[in-house]
């Protein structure tokens, strides 16, 4: 797996078939690390050893399911986030979410919660009620690897999502066509896949819903019960019916499949329609996000040169991945502030479109800030401890600290030009140097 051109024999028919290890494409530390980075943020040595022992199929199953202890950790952090009937200040909630990402036995669930955080683009700057914004993220977590129709149904009755979409008021006499436009263009089928008439009838379907004081109010007398035609289906539809119709629409399936391709496979180029179509057809039939993610993570294309190091790590991935690799939770309040300065402020996506991602994360200014963040993680308060990790694992390995840490962070997959450089002998300096490499910025 390298950065050479895509496999010429990888057709749309074979791209999504399950990867089978072989002599030319073995199940090794490089591929295990690739899977664990994409499905979480960054693997520890323990994670890689377990994946190598289990094999790719069993590892993907476990990543989708999560390990024992997930519910206990989530329940514990749910309690810390709450403060009586309200929630803690938003910067504290940001810190608790980062702690959850670092410590969770189910990293793929947190990754998908973050994915949908960007999909709906809910920001507390607009909502201005931490408890309401927190409840929105908890709702995302509940549905992130489940039925997409259930997620849409919950989102379309979620006060934070409605506020973000401009849907606080939906009178029968004046249906909210702005809300309908956002639900159609941004959250479901996308531009070009619906008509003005669809927009008018979606607006009518949501009449009677109001957000007051951060709470949903369903006022029956304000709902328009008349017949409506939405995306080719006719009936006396409500908002819940629209969620069901939109979840099963081919245009929604294509948008979600394309977004998850960019999230898990490669974000540096748009895939051809023919590549996306098999994923979209499967998703349109069951609209189950976990099944779609599982298909991607098991696939030939995921374990090919098409995918390897073809995604830029977002700031959260960079920091959380280092913490998980070195098996330590750093103080997450200052970490949250540092990530906000890098452009990824949890609970505050910049627009309703979320974060642009991809190459937008990297320029000469942000690269310098990423290196500074890396140094702070190894040199700051309660720092990560490369020496301690080396003492715990691979103690029989005679190689210098830099080589052993390259095995952890990059699974030894370094360009020959870098292998020739004299490595730092101090474990902390070696870790900083490796984590600052361009290769480490890629997932």
Give the pLDDT mean for 178-195.
98
User: According to the 3-state scheme, what is the secondary structure of 418-439?
Assistant: HHCCCCCCCHHHHHHHHHCCHH
In a domain, 266, yes or no: no
In a domain, 4, yes or no: no
pLDDT band at 415 (very low <50, low <70, confident <90, very high): confident
In a domain, 300, yes or no: no
Q: What is the DSSP letter of 442?
A: B
In a domain, 341, yes or no: yes
The answer to whether the CB of 315 falls within 8 A of the CB of 370 is yes
Backbone angles phi, psi at 303, to 5 degrees: -100, 25
Per-residue confidence (pLDDT) for residue 10, from 0 to 100: 76
Do 99 and 196 fall into the same domain?
A: yes
Do 45 and 99 fall into the same domain?
A: no
Torsion of CA 298, 303, 309, 315, to 10 degrees: 10
Per-residue confidence (pLDDT) for residue 8, from 0 to 100: 45
Picking from 247, 274, 293, the residue at the C-terminal end of a domain is 247
Euclidean distance between CA atoms 311 and 309, whole angstroms: 6
- With a CB cutoff of 8 Å and minimum separation 6, the contacts of 67 are 105, 106
In a domain, 269, yes or no: no
Do 122 and 190 fall into the same domain?
A: yes
Candidates 214, 217, 219, 179; CA nearest to 200 is: 179
Question: Which of 112-126, 262-276, 329-343 has the weakest average pLDDT?
Answer: 262-276
Do 222 and 138 fall into the same domain?
A: yes
Do 134 and 243 fall into the same domain?
A: yes
Per-residue confidence (pLDDT) for residue 86, from 0 to 100: 83
pLDDT band at 1 (very low <50, low <70, confident <90, very high): low
Euclidean distance between CA atoms 118 and 123, whole angstroms: 10
In a domain, 417, yes or no: yes
- Using only C-alpha atoms, the chain has a radius of gyration, in whole angstroms, of 23
Do 28 and 122 fall into the same domain?
A: no
Give the pLDDT mean for 238-251.
97
Give pLDDT tens digits for 7-50.
Answer: 545 788 899 999 999 998 999 999 999 999 999 988 999 999 99
Q: What is the DSSP letter of 270?
A: P
Give the pLDDT mean for 347-351.
98
| Alpha-carbon separation of residue 25 from 7, 18, 30, 39, 288 (angstroms) | 12, 13, 11, 20, 29
Candidates 347, 351, 268; CA nearest to 313 is: 268
Do 353 and 400 fall into the same domain?
A: yes
Per-residue confidence (pLDDT) for residue 335, from 0 to 100: 98
Work out the mean pLDDT of the chain and round it to a whole number.
94
Picking from 223, 247, 271, the residue at the C-terminal end of a domain is 247
Give pLDDT tens digits for 283-297.
Answer: 999 999 999 999 999
Do 214 and 338 fall into the same domain?
A: no
The answer to whether the CB of 285 falls within 8 A of the CB of 2 is no
Q: Which domain holds residue 400?
A: 315-441
Give pLDDT tens digits for 107-157.
Answer: 999 999 999 999 999 999 999 999 999 999 999 999 999 999 999 999 999
In a domain, 279, yes or no: no
Per-residue confidence (pLDDT) for residue 133, from 0 to 100: 98
Cα 54 to chain centroid, rounded: 24
| Alpha-carbon separation of residue 73 from 137, 139, 406, 416 (angstroms) | 16, 17, 31, 42
Structure pTM? 0.96
Do 99 and 161 fall into the same domain?
A: yes
Give the pLDDT mean for 95-108.
98
Q: How many domains does the chain have?
A: 3
Determine what percent of the chain is predicted with pLDDT higher than 90: 88
Do 134 and 236 fall into the same domain?
A: yes
Do 77 and 178 fall into the same domain?
A: yes
In a domain, 427, yes or no: yes
Q: Are strands 228-230 and 209-212 parallel, antiparallel or unpaired?
A: unpaired
Residue 6, pLDDT > 60, answer no
Do 346 and 414 fall into the same domain?
A: yes
The DSSP secondary structure of 279-316, one letter per residue, reads HHHHHHHH-BHHHHHHHHHHBTTTTSTTTTT-SBPPHH
Per-residue confidence (pLDDT) for residue 11, from 0 to 100: 84
Euclidean distance between CA atoms 81 and 84, whole angstroms: 10
Per-residue confidence (pLDDT) for residue 70, from 0 to 100: 97
Per-residue confidence (pLDDT) for residue 3, from 0 to 100: 36
Euclidean distance between CA atoms 429 and 443, whole angstroms: 22
Backbone angles phi, psi at 422, to 5 degrees: -70, 120
Candidates 24, 22, 21; CA nearest to 7 is: 24
pLDDT band at 5 (very low <50, low <70, confident <90, very high): very low
pLDDT band at 377 (very low <50, low <70, confident <90, very high): very high
Give the pLDDT mean for 293-316.
96
Count Cβ neighbours within 10 Å for each residue of 341-367 and write b for 16 or more, e otherwise: ebebbbbebeebebbebeeebeeeebe
């Amino acid at each position: 797996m390298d950065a050479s051109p895509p496999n010429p024999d990888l057709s749309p028919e074979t791209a999504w078939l399950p990867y089978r290890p072989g002599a030319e494409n073995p199940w090794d530390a490089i591929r295990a690390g690739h899977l664990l980075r994409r499905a979480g943020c960054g693997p520890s040595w323990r994670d890689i050893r377990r994946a190598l022992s289990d094999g790719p199929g069993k590892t993907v199953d476990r990543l989708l399911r999560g390990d024992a202890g997930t519910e206990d950790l989530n329940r514990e952090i749910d309690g810390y986030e709450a403060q009586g009937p309200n929630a803690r200040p938003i910067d504290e909630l940001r810190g608790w979410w980062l702690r959850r990402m670092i410590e969770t036995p189910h990293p793929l669930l947190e990754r998908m919660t973050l994915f949908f955080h960007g999909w709906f683009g809910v920001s507390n700057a607009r909502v201005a009620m931490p408890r309401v914004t927190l409840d929105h993220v908890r709702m995302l977590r509940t549905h992130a690897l489940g039925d997409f129709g259930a997620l849409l149904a919950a989102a379309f009755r979620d006060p934070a999502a409605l506020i973000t979409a401009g849907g606080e008021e939906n009178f029968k006499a004046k249906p909210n066509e702005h809300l309908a436009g956002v639900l159609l263009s941004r959250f479901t089928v996308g531009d070009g896949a619906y008509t003005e008439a669809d927009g008018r009838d979606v607006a009518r379907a949501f009449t009677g819903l109001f957000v007051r004081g951060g709470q949903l109010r369903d006022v029956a007398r304000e709902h328009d019960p008349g017949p409506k035609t939405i995306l080719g289906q006719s009936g006396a539809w409500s908002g819940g019916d629209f969620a069901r119709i939109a979840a099963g629409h081919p245009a929604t399936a294509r948008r979600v499949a394309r977004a998850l391709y960019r999230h898990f496979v490669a974000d540096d180029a748009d895939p051809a329609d023919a590549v996306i179509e098999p994923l979209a057809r499967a998703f349109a039939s069951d609209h189950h996000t976990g099944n779609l993610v599982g298909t991607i993570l098991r696939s030939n294309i995921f374990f090919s040169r098409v995918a390897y190091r073809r995604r830029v790590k977002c700031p959260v991935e960079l920091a959380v991945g280092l913490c998980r690799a070195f098996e330590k939770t750093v103080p997450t309040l200052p970490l949250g502030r540092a990530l906000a300065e890098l452009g990824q402020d949890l609970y505050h996506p910049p627009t309703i479109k979320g974060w642009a991602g991809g190459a937008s994360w990297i320029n000469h200014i942000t690269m310098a800030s990423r290196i500074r963040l890396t140094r702070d993680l190894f040199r700051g308060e309660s720092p990560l401890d490369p020496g301690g990790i080396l003492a715990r694992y691979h103690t029989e390995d005679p190689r210098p600290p830099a080589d052993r840490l390259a095995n952890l962070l990059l699974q030894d997959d370094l360009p020959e030009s870098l292998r020739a450089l004299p490595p730092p002998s101090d474990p902390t300096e070696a870790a900083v140097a490796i984590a600052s490499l361009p290769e480490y910025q890629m997932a």
